[in-house]
Structure 1
Amino acid sequence: MKATKNPLKVSFFTQKGGVGKSTMTTLMASILHYRLGFNVLVMDCDFPQYSISNMRERDKKAIMLHEYHKKAAMRQFQLINKKAFPIIRCKAEDALEQTSNYINQSAAVPDIIFFDLPGTANTKGVLTTLKTMDFIFAPITADRLIVESTLGFTKAFLGLPDGAHESKEQVIWLFWNQIDGREKTGLYEIYEKTIAALQLNIMETRIMDSKRFRKESEDTGNSIFRSTLLPADLSLLKATRMNLFIEEFLQITPL
């Protein structure tokens, strides 16, 4: 008999490009599915680039051509005894229907569903889909335009009227991404005072910048960071503080 649990719906969303929403989605999906034992589904709604599903195709080719990665994938499958997390391509306007269809046809109901949405809020279906999320995590960097844009959008989004399918317990969390260790910490304190004044949530963990965020399994040697088929190496997670982010993520969400 199929489980009746309701999967957690999460989106890493920002209107600004290049701050890591698709990368964070991939990293979190891989860690939760392959290392922590959760069943994950990724809805790739980022039309037309579909970066996550295209990454899956590149990952398949890279692993078959790399003996070390191939053996790692085989060991992983034997250890956890489950397939790679599914990635479903769709447009934002069709995301909820496609998700429902998948759940109704799947033997294993996902514990968590990540929605990777276009960064343009006026794209058809984006706001409607965002309103159904249980949690939205918004990456920001120490750039005035990015912070102001994200704060402005977040306040406007929270002020939108309730929709018929809105998640009643929806929570938005901002978090610092791509931290440069040379930047003055006082800069973040100033921004965080503004965020607190707006009564918005911000995570304690600040993710360090790393060239690893821009590397995939096809060009990382024997270490894996960003991949849809294998989880990131623990040493790399620690170096970027992603391990602390994952712990905080699990404390925030009811997984």
Structure 2
Amino acid sequence: MKREHKTIFIAFSSQKGGVGKSTFTTLAASTMHYRMGYNVAVFDADFPQHSLMNMKNRDLAMVMENEVMKRKAYKQFTSINKKAYPIIRHKAEGVLEAANDFLKSSSIPVDVIFFDLPGTVNTPGILKALTGMHHIFTPITADRVVMESTLIFTQLMKDVIMKEGNTTIETINLFWSRVDGRERTPLYDIYDKLIAELGLSLMQSRIKNSSRFRKESEVNAKIIFRSTVMPPDKRLMKACKLDRFITEFLNIIKL
């Protein structure tokens, strides 16, 4: 008997803006789709800015203006023999229904749909969207305001919503982002202990701070990091330990 193909719904989610939700969505989606052979789609439900949709338009324009990148993109798309992953604009409200409609109409099996969601719990439809995920990944930084809002919300999701059972959530995973390797601070140890005491899941991978996380591809660039049309450069991934994160990420979602 043939096993039905299951599409995994994933969100990089946080109740605090500026921690890199859209960036990590792009990095994970591009690595999986362009380098690892998975078929990926993205729903950009971060209304009204729709930053991923806008990023894709800028990325395509940059490739057309940069001869080095144009050749790399041509080589990439002819070797993997598939198109860029689709980014679909939507609001948080109704996004699960829209994703399921997309899957029914897709001519290829989709392995993962990433959802880029708004960073505020007051947005209409946001809680329903989150409860429809299979896995939620939450970037955290050693900042008191970020940690307080993140831990309160994550505990709510785990101890109230998941325990009530009306959800598809399998895992909620916190991970350290923008860690300064030169910084000797006891804050990480203190927060690690607190996260464990709250019974929350913390990934082993710690992603090092890099200006690349805030920097989009430029017209004169020769290497790519954050892009919706090409995977991040392997050396840059290794330098910030994103390669280790992706390995652990795939183990968690069982791909």
Judge same fold: TM > 0.5, yes or no: yes
Question: Quick one: which amino acid aligns to residue 73 of structure 1?
Answer: A
Residue 232 of structure 2: aligned partner = 232
Question: Quick one: which amino acid aligns to residue 31 of structure 2?
Answer: I
1:184: Cα distance to partner?
1.6
Residues 188-207 of structure 1 aligned to structure 2 (within 5 Å):
188-207=188-207
1:161 and 1:140 map into 2 onto residues whose CA distance is 21
Residues 1-255 of structure 1 aligned to structure 2 (within 5 Å):
4-161=4-161, 166-167=167-168, 170-218=170-218, 221-255=221-255
* Structure 2, gaps ≥5 residues long: none
1:182: Cα distance to partner?
2.5
Query: SS of the counterpart of 1:204?
Result: strand
- Taking a change above 3 Å as real, the CA distance of residues 37 and 119 of structure 1, as seen in their structure-2 partners, is same
2:9 and 2:67 map into 1 onto residues whose CA distance is 36
Query: SS of the counterpart of 2:207?
Result: strand
What percentage of aligned pairs have identical amino acids?
A: 51
2:109 and 2:190 map into 1 onto residues whose CA distance is 43
On the 8 A contact 1:63/1:218 being kept in 2, the answer is no
Question: Quick one: which amino acid aligns to residue 45 of structure 1?
Answer: A
**Worse overlay, 55-64 or 220-229:** 220-229
2:82 and 2:54 map into 1 onto residues whose CA distance is 21
Cα offsets for 1:207-237 (capped at 9, x unmatched):
0111111111225610100000000100000
On the 8 A contact 2:69/2:222 being kept in 1, the answer is yes
2:216 and 2:49 map into 1 onto residues whose CA distance is 17
Cα offsets for 1:161-220 (capped at 9, x unmatched):
4688620x5210000001112322532111100000000000011001111111112256
Query: SS of the counterpart of 2:61?
Result: helix
On the 8 A contact 1:58/1:218 being kept in 2, the answer is no
- Taking a change above 3 Å as real, the CA distance of residues 220 and 112 of structure 1, as seen in their structure-2 partners, is farther
Query: SS of the counterpart of 2:177?
Result: strand
1:10 and 1:97 map into 2 onto residues whose CA distance is 15
1:159 and 1:130 map into 2 onto residues whose CA distance is 14
Aligned length: 253
On the 8 A contact 2:66/2:219 being kept in 1, the answer is no
TM-score relative to the length of structure 1: 0.95
* Structure 1, gaps ≥5 residues long: none
Question: Quick one: which amino acid aligns to residue 29 of structure 1?
Answer: A
1:86 and 1:109 map into 2 onto residues whose CA distance is 13
Query: SS of the counterpart of 1:193?
Result: helix
2:170 and 2:229 map into 1 onto residues whose CA distance is 30
On the 8 A contact 1:132/1:165 being kept in 2, the answer is no
Question: Quick one: which amino acid aligns to residue 249 of structure 1?
Answer: F
1:143: Cα distance to partner?
0.5
2:122 and 2:158 map into 1 onto residues whose CA distance is 16
